[in-house]
Amino acid sequence: MVSDIEKIRLDIFVSSKCKISRSEAKRMIETGSVEVNGKKSRCAYKLKKGDVISILPYERPVQDLEPEPIDLDIIYEDDDILVINKPPGMVVHPAPGNPRGTLVNAILNHCRINATSSSCTDLRPGIVHRLDKGTSGLMVVAKNITAQGLLSAQFKNRKVKKVYLTLVAGSSKESSGTFDTLIGRHPKDRKRMSVGTNRGKRAVTHWEVVKRFGADLMLVKVSIETGRTHQIRVHFSSHGMPVVGDTVYGRRWKGRIRDKEYLKILEGVTRPLLHAYSIGFTHPRTGKEMSFCQEPPSDFKEILERLEEKGGQVL
């Protein structure tokens, strides 16, 4: 909410707040990544008292990206694709607040890709889908423009099979189900997503309980037909079962767990316990069906082991 900076140009304000150059702030505004009172605006717009400025997810132009020597956990690699196990905490694409240390920077280095070459398309060299910063697990990455186009088409046409594991706080009498709602930008907080918005897009999430821990914790297997931003986290939160560790959509997730011993086990959780467990797709060159699985990382596995020691009911 703008109050004491009236008559400052929008691009100057964005540059100062995001700690970026004015030219990059200009690009953000022109591409619609900055909204004033919920609408796209101009760089020269002068702020007024009461204006609400929203900074939406923004992808830096390819020419701004730099290769960085970052280790990758590579599950599979050939001339066309990489399948990697993304660690929790790694951002996929550079953005304000996370300009370095991203998966894209690592890919540019590993594949020796020039960010302005024909090997890159759009603003996402190699990237055909995403995982949130706090989410761990499997991703497929394209190593050339042909593979990128064919893999992107598979995602667009919902041909890629993705399965996640997540620990949720809450319970359901059902052992499985489907969430089928619209998901769109939150009307008051443009950085968040929400269900029930008229401008949203259809989001379909299938889920199945793998194990129950007491009355208020469930390990759930999730498959998604669509890939909306924060889809799994939004869906489970909106149905009273927020993902453990999710401080954006489940700020009060601890309040849903009544057993103090379980709460003690979870007290050190610092990120959403959501893991991309498996992925299946058609190889873009050979046409072969590819499928990969990866167990959750150590922080997630350790919590599950401690919960199981206390007792869990396998379904």
User: β-strands 274-282, 136-142: how paired?
Assistant: parallel
C-alpha distance from residue 137 to each of 30, 77, 86, 156 (Å): 34, 16, 5, 20
Residue that is written with structure tokens 């890159």 in the block: 120
Cβ neighbours for 4, distance < 8 A, ≥ 6 positions apart = none
From 149, 230, 158, 136, select the one nearest 189 (Cα to Cα).
230
| C-alpha of 32 from chain center | 20
The pair phi, psi for residue 44, each rounded to 5°, is -85, -5
Rounded to the nearest 10°, the torsion over CA 58, 64, 68, 71 is 30
Backbone CA torsion sign across 20, 22, 24, 25? positive
On the CB side of 111, CA atoms within 13 Å amount to: 29
Catalogue the active-site residues.
132
Q: Give the H/E segment covering residue 205.
A: strand 201-213
Q: How far is 283 from 143, CA to CA, in rounded Å?
A: 12
User: Residue 277 has which token pair?
Assistant: 């467990």
